[in-house]
Every structure is written in C-alpha cells, then in structure tokens.
C-alpha cells in the first residue's frame, strides 16, 4: 500500500474502513497488511483539553448512551475491527538485560535460546510512532477514537502463555494486533469513557507463544485540576530516593513483598518501553494538567512485579509454570509510595488432565485513608490479579494448595 511520507500524521483509509497509521509502514518492510489502495486524509491536531461544553462528556450530547458517543464507537469499530497490524522482531538479549537492571534483579544467561520470563515480553514490540503522531499526553495512537476522548489509560487485561512454545532470546517473533471491542461507560461524576479491548498475539515459527488482551480506557480531556486535587508541595524536591524491595512475614502463610519505585526507575522503564506517556516522567504535567499528586507507576511495570512476586514466592516450588494471568488496575500507585504485594488465596481447580491447576489471587496495595478511631491506614488496592499455574511435568499440586489450610 502506497503511503505518502510526510511529517504530519497521515492515515490510510480502505474501502472496508481500515484505519491504520502510515508510521507502521514508513521505512519498515517487516510491517504490513493487505488492503486496497485508497486516498489519504489528514488528522487535525487535537488540543489536550477543551473549554467548549460541546466537547465535554458531561454534556448531554456525550453521555454514554447518546447518539454522538454511539457514533464514535461505531466509527472506531468500522475503521479498526477488520484491521490487523503485523510487526516482526528478533528478541534481543540487551532488552532483557536492561529490564532486569531496571527491576534491580540479577540476570543469568541471556544466550540465544534463553527463555524470556513470563511477563517480560512487555518490553518488546515497543511503539514506533513519530513524535508528531503521539497524542497530546504522549501516548501512541493505534486505535484512537478522536475528540473528546483524547486521553488513554491502561486499565487491565489478560495474558495467556503456551508452555510448549515459550518466547526465547534470538527468536524471530511476529506480533499481530487488532481491536476486539469498544464499549462506552459512565464513570464517576457522570463522565463518559470508552473501554477498548485490544488483542496481541506473539508467534514464532512453531506457532503462538503468548496471547494478550489489553484493556484501554479512553477519557475526555481533563479540566483544570480542582482544589480538591491540588497536591501539596512535593516532599521529593532536592532529595534522592531509590527503588526498594523487601519482605515481611505476618499472619499469612506467605511472605508479603514491600515495593517502592523511584523516579529513576519510572524513567528507565519509560525509556525501555519507548513509552512517552507524560504521567510517568513529567511532574508538571501530572499536577497542572492531570490533577495528580505525582508521577504514576506504569501499569505494565506493576504487572511485571506481580509476576516476579509469584515466581519468587510460589513458582520455585514444584516446577510450576504460569499459564494465564488476568489483572485489573484499581487505583494509581505514585512514585516513592510504598506498596505491598501479597497472596489473598490459592485454589485448586481441575484441568481435565488429572493433575489439576492452581489459581493464585495476588493483590498490590498501598496505604489509604485512616479508619475512624484508628491511627493506622487502610490498605487501598492498586492492582488485583489471578494467576493460573500448573506443573509442566503433570505431577500433582495438592501440596502447594495445602499451605493455606
């Protein structure tokens, strides 16, 4: 498909309504999809927020069930549902090493053939958009709905691994991405949001290795931060903080992990994933535009830390392998906040093979508001996840579940 090479963001429109950025083709022969050539048009620059009430989802015209919102949803599905973005990449050892360094974890061999740990695939197939093609908040725009929904948040998802075909260093991998669904919903305060589900499949010559569903939330432009959200002066000014990981034993049969992410760690993870979303590195943007108290820890980074916790606490016993994880982001975790990773429960389920599988419910929490009459703070959930795991050798797994009896 011929794509005009311009500095402005150009998009290609097919007869079926496929809507893909030409940046996915420019200078990269490994990225392609099949469609008929059609004329192109230009996406105008969209502001980060609007003062015109017509562009606010609090207005009747942009309620979740309104004709205007339904039209936006239909346009997204018509343009994207049949489109498949395909990219190919060789999984290099350097990316894996840099992630381990960012996580402050020792890494062993990264020779060709080394298995990529579960969840670490998130640092491969990073965005390839030009700066001029990014959203006003710095996010890449593969399935952007357009105004008034110009902001995007990572809200959760599900990852399925194929244990017989793990991703390995040096493997030639193909990623296919497509939009599965878009659903409008009303959020707090009556604001409308669009919930988009995106599927990614990572395949090798032997077949699928990872299947992932990502849930993105598209939000309306932010108003000026209200007085209730105006943060106090930063306690980080002129100080140097470091990320930390420690463990503590309590009433639970399993250790809890205490985590704290520094601004340096957030910057490194943003750089590693080529993520320009400004909530992760631009403090002025967080406060003055988003009304947030500080930098936000990446959702994918929280997920990787959840998989690391499971691997260290549970996965070393009995040759267990994660088969699937589903997770949901509940509230933001901010830079330098202490968080707690813990195991809520473990449940055995049958998988039809006679060996059974285990469902681990893992929770990432942080200190919340103090309860009445108490000096201690309630824990506020940041992310909750369910990890389904089984033994690769098919051995019974009752012994692991018995720890919670």
**CATH number of the domain residue 254 falls in:** 3.10.129.10
pLDDT at 235: 47
161 lies in the same domain as 292: no
Which structural domain, as residue segments, surrounds residue 233? 228-405
Using DSSP, state whether 105 is helix, strand or coil.
coil
**41 belongs to a structural domain:** no
323's enclosing H/E stretch is strand 320-329
Distances (CA, A) of 199 to 140, 157, 196: 16, 10, 10
| Mean local confidence (pLDDT), 21-39 | 37
Stretch 276-286: mean pLDDT: 95
Q: Are residues 111 and 256 in the same domain?
A: no
Percent of the chain topping pLDDT 90: 51
Q: Is the pTM of this model over 0.85?
A: no
Confidence category of residue 13, pLDDT binned at 50, 70, 90: very low
Confidence (pLDDT) at 146: 85
Residue whose C-alpha is closest to residue 175's, from 148, 149, 142: 142
Q: 371-400: string of b/e by CB count within 10 Å (b at 16+)?
A: eeeeeeeeeeebbbbbbbbbbeeeeebeeb
Is the confidence at residue 363, as pLDDT, over 90?
A: yes
Which residue reads 């000026």 in tokens?
A: 224
CA–CA distance, 22 with 10 (Å, rounded to integer): 6
Task: Determine the pLDDT at residue 255.
Answer: 87
Q: In the predicted model, is pLDDT for residue 237 greater than 80?
A: no
Q: Are residues 236 and 292 in the same domain?
A: yes
φ and ψ at residue 404, rounded to 5 degrees: -100, 0
At 130 the pLDDT is 95
Q: Are residues 196 and 314 in the same domain?
A: no
The lowest-confidence range among 21-25, 45-49, 313-317, 382-386 is 21-25
| Domain edge (last residue) among 196, 223, 250 | 223
Q: Which of 296, 366, 303 is nearest to 332 (CA)?
A: 296
E strands, 79-233, where?
A: 85-90, 151-161, 172-186, 192-204, 207-219
| Strand ranges across the sheet with 192-204 | 85-90, 172-186, 192-204, 207-219, 151-161, 320-329, 377-391, 357-370, 338-349, 256-260, 244-248
187 and 249 in a single domain? The answer is no
- Our count of domains for the chain comes to 2
Residue 356 lies in a domain: yes
CA distances from 280 to 139, 224, 300 (A): 11, 19, 12
What separation, in Å, do the N-terminal and C-terminal C-alpha atoms of the chain show?
61
Q: What is the mean pLDDT of residues 362-386?
A: 79
The H or E element containing residue 310 is helix 299-313
Residues 272 and 206 in one domain: no
User: C-alpha distances in angstroms, 225 versus 51, 163, 294, 347?
Assistant: 14, 47, 13, 43
Q: Does residue 57 contact residue 68 with C-beta atoms inside 8 Å?
A: no
Query: What pLDDT does 86 receive?
Result: 96
Sequence-separated (6 or more) residues with CB below 8 Å from residue 92: 169, 170
Q: Is 361 among the domain residues?
A: yes
For the chain, the 3-state helix, strand and coil shares in percent, each to the nearest 5, are 20, 35, 45
Phi, psi dihedrals of residue 74, rounded to the nearest 5°:
-60, -40
Residue bearing the bigger pLDDT, 346 or 233: 346
Residues 247 and 126 both lie in one domain: no
> Is residue 17 a part of any domain in this protein?
no
Q: Sign of the C-alpha dihedral, residues 116, 120, 122, 125?
A: negative
Phi, psi of 297 (to 5 degrees): -70, 135
Q: Which of 170, 200, 223 is the last residue of a domain?
A: 223
Which of 270, 278, 284, 276 shows the shortest CA–CA distance to 237?
Answer: 284
Helix, coil or strand: residue 121: helix
124/229: higher pLDDT: 124
Q: Give a yes or no: residue 2 inside a domain.
A: no
Least confident of 104-113, 131-140, 195-204: 104-113
Give the least confident one: 26-40, 284-298, 321-335: 26-40
Regarding whether 264 and 168 lie in a shared domain, the answer is no
Same domain assignment for residues 107 and 245: no
* Same domain, yes or no: 257 and 373: yes
pLDDT of residue 403: 32
56 & 169 share domain: yes
Decide if 54 is inside a domain: yes
Question: Does a structural domain hold residue 11?
Answer: no
Per-residue pLDDT at 158: 98
Q: How many residues does the chain have?
A: 405
Q: Taking residues 41-59, what's their average pLDDT?
A: 39
The CA distance from 396 to 387, in Å, is 18
Instruction: Determine, yes or no, domain membership for 38.
Output: no
Note the pLDDT of residue 200.
98
Least confident of 98-102, 122-126, 147-151: 147-151
Q: How far apart are CA 32 and CA 392, in angstroms?
A: 36
Residue 225 pLDDT: 54
Q: What is the mean pLDDT of residues 98-109?
A: 89
Calculate mean pLDDT across residues 127-153. 90
Residue 144 has pLDDT above 80, yes or no: yes
Residue with tokens 């048009």: 41
Do 168 and 270 have their domain in common? no
Mean pLDDT value across residues 318-342: 93
Q: Which of 204, 223, 242 is the last residue of a domain?
A: 223
């Amino acid at each position: 498909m011929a794509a005009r090479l311009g500095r402005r963001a150009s998009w290609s429109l097919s007869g079926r309504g496929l809507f893909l950025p030409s940046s996915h083709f420019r200078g990269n022969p490994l990225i392609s999809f099949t469609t008929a050539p059609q004329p192109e048009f230009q996406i105008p620059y969209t502001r980060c927020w609007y003062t015109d009430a017509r562009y606010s989802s609090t207005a009747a015209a942009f309620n979740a069930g309104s004709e205007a919102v339904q039209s936006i949803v239909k346009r997204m599905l018509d343009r994207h549902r049949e489109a498949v973005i395909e990219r190919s990449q060789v999984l290099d050892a350097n990316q894996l090493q840099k992630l381990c360094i960012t996580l402050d974890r020792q890494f062993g061999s990264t020779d060709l053939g080394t298995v990529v740990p579960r969840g670490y695939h998130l640092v491969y197939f990073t965005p390839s958009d030009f700066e001029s093609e990014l959203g006003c908040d710095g996010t890449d725009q593969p399935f952007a709905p357009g105004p008034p929904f110009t902001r995007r948040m990572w809200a959760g998802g599900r990852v399925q691994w194929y244990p017989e075909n793990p991703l390995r260093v040096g493997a030639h991998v193909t990623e296919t991405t497509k939009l599965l669904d878009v659903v409008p919903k009303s959020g707090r305060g009556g604001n409308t949001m669009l919930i988009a589900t995106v599927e990614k499949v990572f395949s090798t010559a032997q077949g699928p290795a990872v299947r992932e569903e990502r849930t993105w939330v598209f939000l309306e432009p932010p108003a000026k931060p209200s007085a209730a959200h105006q943060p106090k002066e930063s306690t980080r000014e002129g100080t140097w903080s470091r990320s930390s990981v420690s463990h503590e034993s309590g009433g639970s049969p399993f250790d809890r992990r205490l985590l704290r992410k520094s601004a340096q760690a957030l910057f490194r993870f943003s750089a590693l994933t080529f993520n320009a979303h400004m909530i992760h590195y631009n403090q002025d943007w967080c406060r003055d535009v988003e009304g947030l108290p500080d930098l936000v820890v990446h959702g994918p980074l929280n997920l990787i830390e959840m998989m690391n916790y499971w691997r260290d606490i549970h996965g070393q016993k009995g040759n267990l392998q994660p088969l699937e994880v589903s997770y949901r982001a509940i509230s933001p975790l901010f830079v330098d906040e202490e968080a707690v990773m813990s195991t809520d429960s473990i449940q055995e389920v049958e998988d039809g093979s006679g060996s059974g599988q285990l469902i681990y419910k893992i929770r990432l929490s942080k200190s919340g508001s103090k309860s009445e009459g108490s000096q201690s703070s309630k824990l506020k959930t940041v992310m909750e996840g369910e990890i389904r795991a089984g033994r690769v050798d098919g051995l019974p797994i009752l012994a692991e579940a018995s720890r919670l009896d």
